[in-house]
Amino acid sequence: MLNVAVKKEKISLDCVLASVYFICMPLQIITLFAGVSVLKAVMFILAPIMIITLFFGEKKITFNSVHLFLALYLTYTLASLYLARDTATFDYLRAMFENSIVIFLVSIRIYNQREKKIIEYSWIVVGVICILIGFFSTVEMSDEERIAIIFFGSYEDPNQFCAYLILPILYAMKKITSKTALKPLYVAYILTMIYIAFKTGSRGGLVAIIVPMAVLAILLSKGFANKVRMIVSALLVAVFAIYVLFPMLPESVQGRFNIERIQEDRGSGRVGLWETTYQSIISDSKSMIFGKGINSTEEILLGAGFSNTVAHNHWLQIWSDQGIIAVFLYLFILMAGIFRTYKKNVVVMAAIWGMIALSMSLSLNTFKPFLNVILMSAMNFEGELTYDS
């Protein structure tokens, strides 16, 4: 009876627009003109339509704790204009508000269960696009044989590209645990994306994929028998990845995952960036609380002789730029997302842990995959509205 009811549920224009937006996410790699990506161009088209349907559509709306803490973070960020250093401050604010408008427009509506399934399938399509990009739109980096993403002349960092794979992999895992004849196809789908992550040579990216996969595997397995099956399946995937996929990589890329290599290059120089940023933060008690101003980290690192202009750690970057207040506000956004999804939407909860893992080695302030996981954690579905909706 439940399946019949789900089939009869209406698909709204809002759901279609949200799905199109998610599917276009990997296309943010492509720059059209004046720094405007394909995804941003799509966003400029979809946002006005969603504003119209917000007022004249039939969807009910609701707000939740993710919206609350995001609004508080945006308010605090806007207040930090008094520490504005240059135009980069305004660029950051513009990017944050543009992305946050989309988060609110998409997630304040209440979607039915049929629409939830369509949104989940849109992420499977994202994975297909990423696989095509990963195999047919890559070049070897100049100094190593690891791949970089070059798509229609535009470049994407290999570390960041791994973030695009997280939600598609997790939704494929969910499909595998359901009654579907496509299980072998989903297994091949997951292994293909793991191989692409291997090819990028991104150690942080690989950790950010493995962590949520492990979290989701635990959450999806109900009962002792299912847990045993999940453990066995996970071990088989791990064995295949380690003994079949990994040896297919060039030796120079394999070497990047060697513990001695990681210790020797100090995490590709990240440890030095972290130490310098941290020492700068604690040198001034006022800046520990309020930060030194958005984009201040760039000046700190350049002044210390680094060519890198970001801290390669999301939390140190925010602490340096906006202070410990902003760190806690951002942490509350993610924690609210975890508490909203830990029972009804475990795929998204696992993805949040993946992004937290990635945030330890990358600065993700306005990074779309990161913000889209926040968006997914703020989504409202009929029959799943939580205490904070």
Helical axes 368-378 vs 346-359, angle rounded to 10°? 150
Give the pLDDT of residue 1: 47
Q: For the chain, how many structural domains are there in total? A: 1
- In whole angstroms, how far apart are CA 213 and each of 11, 165, 176, 367? 30, 11, 13, 21
Would residue 387 count as lying in a domain? no
Give the pLDDT of residue 32: 80
Would residue 55 count as lying in a domain? yes
Contact at 8 Å (CB) between 159 and 361? yes
Residue 139 phi, psi (nearest 5): -135, 155
Would residue 386 count as lying in a domain? no
Would residue 108 count as lying in a domain? yes
Chain segment 62-102, per-residue pLDDT in tens: 999 999 999 999 999 888 776 655 667 777 888 888 899 99
> Per-block average pLDDT, block size 10, for the chain (389 residues)?
62 94 89 80 91 89 94 89 67 86 94 95 96 78 71 78 94 88 91 92 90 90 75 84 88 80 76 91 89 85 84 92 93 95 92 94 83 95 73
The DSSP bridge partners found for residue 71 are none
Would residue 336 count as lying in a domain? yes
Task: Find, among 166, 139, 171, the residue nearest to 154 by Cα.
Answer: 139
The whole domain housing 359 covers 2-381
Helical axes 346-359 vs 166-176, angle rounded to 10°? 150
pTM of the model: 0.90
Question: How many residues in total does the chain contain?
Answer: 389
Would residue 389 count as lying in a domain? no
